[in-house]
Amino acid sequence: MEMIMMKTRSLLIALLVLAVVPAFGQTQLGSVTGVVKDEQGGALPGVTVTLTGKTGSRSTTSDTKGEYRFAALAPGAYEVKAEMSGFRPKRIGNVEVPVASVANVDLSLSVGGVTETVDVVGEATMVDTTSAASNNSLSQDILYNMPIDRRSFNIYNFAPGISHSAAFGAGGSTANALLLDGVDTRDPDGGTDWTFYNYNIMDQVQIQGLGAPA
């Protein structure tokens, strides 16, 4: 019943060449990080940074290097706003946080009144320098609109460099992991998926290839 009612599900397909099935904790959660600077490029400590998403808002303060971080975020779209006395607030909307990835959102504040807010849409950098994994994300729009059935191999065939065919000298299918909200849904004997997936309950699918965490 829980799977039918909730719409914030995520699917993580980890394709591991030689790996042990990981201990699945919060592998589907992402984070937002960034640096707040002034117009001259100097770090701005003490800036109030607010992150707003489907489940509400949370705030933090930039450190002495101007850096901030929001961890343990469900995949989806967020808004980031930076505010500091003497500077114009800046708001960046439509920041997409992929499954198990880091969205980098740097902000530059200009001198001005607090009533003048600078609005920017979608200025996040999606290159995750904290992980060596090869990640590919499929949005809910792609899952809805692409003419594919609901088997896992039809999903991960959309990722570059992946082919659903035999390979010699590589790990077997049991070395892969197929996670739904962090829970492995594979057949433990053959490594294949046990079920068809309801895309209506998924916000995002991420495919992790070489370098996926063990």
Question: What is the reported pLDDT for 107?
Answer: 94
Strand ranges for 28-161 from DSSP E: 30-38, 48-53, 56-61, 67-73, 76-83, 90-97, 102-104, 107-109, 118-121, 135-139
Q: Which domains does the chain have, with CATH numbers?
A: 2-27+131-208 (no CATH), 30-121 (2.60.40.1120)
Mean pLDDT, 10 residues at a time, over the chain (214 residues)? 46 45 56 95 97 95 97 91 94 88 92 73 56 64 69 68 60 67 74 68 69 55
Question: What is the reported pLDDT for 148?
Answer: 67
The answer to whether the predicted template modeling score (pTM) of the entire model surpasses 0.75 is no
Question: What is the reported pLDDT for 127?
Answer: 53
Question: What is the reported pLDDT for 39?
Answer: 93
Question: What is the reported pLDDT for 85?
Answer: 92
Question: What is the reported pLDDT for 195?
Answer: 67
Strand ranges for 62-117 from DSSP E: 67-73, 76-83, 90-97, 102-104, 107-109
Question: What is the reported pLDDT for 169?
Answer: 58
Question: What is the reported pLDDT for 207?
Answer: 72
